[in-house]
């Protein structure tokens, strides 16, 4: 087997160039480490403005982002974004074909966006001689944001068929999704590599809790429960608030809850619920803050909560890795995809969507510092392998397998 570094063309469509989304954070962090390991990697991402952003430091190839998706203001449909990303994919293909015809070698195209993956899978092998690796995060037929027009069902089916069957290799965030693909006879497990999300160990690591609270001017000296996320949509934060409201008065009086992140409308909606349940004095909404400050809030906490995930078998939330890495007790729903990361005892789990189960486990964690410490230590050990450096190294190994 040829283990020399392949020439990788990495095609991504981050939803934010300023790292204001989990998608962008994962993309940037992976690419930063990938460029250290395989410096000849070529990166293609879209750009709408000339404003500086973190991706500039990676020497990326910026191609125009033609904002066709904005037309959804007039006719609300995901199809506008399909067209927008199709145009970007064609620009990448034209650039790669031009380079290929002028003698530049392209071994592997690594892509993590479905529309780009569709066009790369169909055309890159033919026009660039490249093998395609697709990091698939879900089937488009299960995507909450897929086009809802009935006549678009055929488009969605074609996207899933081509992107699952044609790439040289697939990359799944979870073993559960890889097993699902095999069970549905969509792609054999031997063709699918598992590459979970990761965490930035320079930001997320155990630190002194008192110092973090002093830095954030937190005067509460009891238990702190925190949820941190850039957006609240589809995360069932209402479940967490309801569970908190069901704690007895003594528990609530010694506990405070923080919500870090969220869009203004999401915060307002959750704030109304908090007020209706008479919890205003127990809950603080922090809003969007820099990643370094997010890490401070995690360290300042005792319990870090994940009420639910957007997806099921593909769930690999960044916050789970970041939570565990800070050395605090994590509580999350019992799901096979999350169990892959937390192991036997790296987090406290509750019955998914069951408010009484969540309340019971919150009550237990609040009451037992020893139990919180046990989960925290197990979590640190379980998450240790999932650094972005290790993720990038495995990504290169996957590309070698695809090329060979």
pLDDT digits (tens, 9 = 90+) for 25-44: 999 999 999 999 999 999 99
Q: Which residues pair with 46 in a beta bridge?
A: 63
Tens-digit pLDDT profile for residues 371-390: 999 999 999 999 999 999 99
Q: Residue 2 above 80 pLDDT?
A: no
Q: How does residue 3 score in pLDDT terms, banded at 50, 70 and 90?
A: confident
More confident residue, 259 or 21: 259
150, pLDDT greater than 90: no
What does the pLDDT average to over 318-332? 96
Give the tens place of pLDDT for each residue, 277-295.
999 999 999 999 999 999 9
C-alpha 267/C-alpha 260 separation (Å) is 10
State the pLDDT confidence band at 1, using cuts at 50, 70 and 90.
Answer: low
The pLDDT score that the predictor gives to residue 355 is: 95
Q: Convert the pLDDT of each residue in 42-97 to its tens digit.
A: 999 999 888 999 999 999 999 999 889 888 888 888 899 999 999 999 999 999 99
pLDDT in tens, 82-141: 999 999 999 999 999 999 999 999 999 999 999 999 999 999 999 999 999 999 999 999
Burial of 215 (0-12, 13-18, 19+ CB in 10 A): middle
Q: Could you tell me the CA-to-CA distances from 58 to 10, 17, 45, 139 in Å, in that order?
A: 12, 12, 11, 30
Order of strands, edge to edge, in the sheet holding 42-47?
61-64, 42-47, 8-11, 108-111, 131-136, 169-172, 192-194
Cα–Cα distance for residue pair 199/176, rounded to 1 Å: 20
Structure tokens at 178: 């890889």
Q: What pLDDT, on a 0 to 100 scale, did the predictor assign at position 21? A: 81
pLDDT value of residue 54: 94
Overall average pLDDT of the 188-198 stretch: 96
Give the whole-angstrom CA distance, residue 153 versus residue 165.
Answer: 18
Which residue has tokens 């919500």?
259
**144 confidence band (pLDDT: 50, 70, 90):** confident
pLDDT in tens, 166-184: 999 999 999 999 999 999 9
Domains assigned to the chain: 8-198+388-403 (3.40.50.2000), 209-383 (3.40.50.2000)
248-273 per-residue burial string, b: 16 or more CB within 10 A, e: under 16? eeebbeebbbbbbbbeeebbeebbee
How high is the pLDDT of residue 139? 93
Across residues 155-170, what is the average pLDDT? 96
3-state secondary structure 286-339: EECCCHHHHHHHHHHCCEEECCCCCCCCCCCCHHHHHHHHCCCEEEEECCHHHH
Mean pLDDT confidence for 209-238: 92
Question: How many Cα atoms within 13 Å fall on the side-chain side of residue 325?
Answer: 22
Quote the pTM value: 0.92
Residue whose token pair is 């939803």? 15
d(CA 22, CA 321): 12
């Amino acid at each position: 087997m040829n283990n020399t570094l392949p020439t990788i063309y990495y095609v991504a469509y981050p939803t934010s160039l300023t790292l204001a989304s989990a998608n962008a954070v994962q993309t940037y962090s992976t690419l930063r480490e990938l460029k250290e390991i395989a410096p000849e990697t070529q990166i293609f991402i879209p750009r709408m403005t000339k404003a500086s952003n973190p991706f500039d430091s990676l020497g990326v190839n910026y191609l125009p982002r033609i904002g066709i998706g904005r037309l959804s203001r007039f006719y609300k449909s995901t199809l506008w974004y399909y067209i927008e990303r199709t145009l970007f994919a064609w620009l990448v293909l034209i650039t790669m074909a031009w380079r290929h015809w002028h003698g530049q070698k392209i071994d592997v195209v690594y892509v993590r966006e479905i529309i780009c993956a569709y066009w790369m899978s169909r055309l890159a092998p033919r026009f660039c001689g490249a093998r395609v690796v697709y990091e698939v995060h879900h089937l488009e037929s299960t995507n909450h944001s897929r086009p809802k027009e009935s006549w678009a069902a055929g488009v969605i089916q074609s996207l899933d068929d081509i992107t699952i069957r044609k790439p040289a290799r697939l990359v799944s965030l979870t073993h559960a999704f890889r097993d699902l693909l095999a069970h549905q006879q969509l792609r054999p497990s031997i063709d699918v590599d598992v590459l979970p999300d990761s965490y930035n160990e320079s930001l997320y690591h155990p630190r002194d809790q008192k110092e973090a609270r002093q830095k954030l001017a937190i005067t509460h000296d009891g238990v702190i429960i925190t949820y941190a996320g850039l957006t609240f949509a589809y995360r069932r934060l209402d479940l967490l608030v309801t569970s908190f409201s069901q704690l007895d008065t003594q528990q609530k009086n010694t506990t405070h809850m923080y919500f870090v992140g969220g869009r203004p409308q999401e915060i307002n909606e959750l704030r109304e619920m908090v007020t209706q349940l008479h919890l205003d004095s127990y809950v603080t909404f922090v809003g969007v803050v820099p990643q370094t400050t997010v890490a401070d809030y995690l360290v300042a906490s005792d319990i870090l909560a994940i009420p639910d995930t957007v997806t099921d078998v593909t769930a690999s939330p960044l916050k789970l890795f970041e939570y565990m890495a800070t050395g605090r007790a994590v509580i999350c729903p019992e799901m096979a995809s999350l169990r892959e990361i937390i192991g036997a005892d790296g987090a406290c789990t509750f019955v998914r969507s069951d408010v009484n189960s969540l309340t019971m486990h919150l009550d237990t964690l609040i009451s037992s510092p020893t139990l919180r410490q046990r989960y925290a230590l197990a979590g640190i050990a379980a998450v240790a392998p999932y650094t972005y450096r290790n993720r990038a190294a495995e990504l290169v190994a996957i590309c070698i397998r695809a090329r060979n």
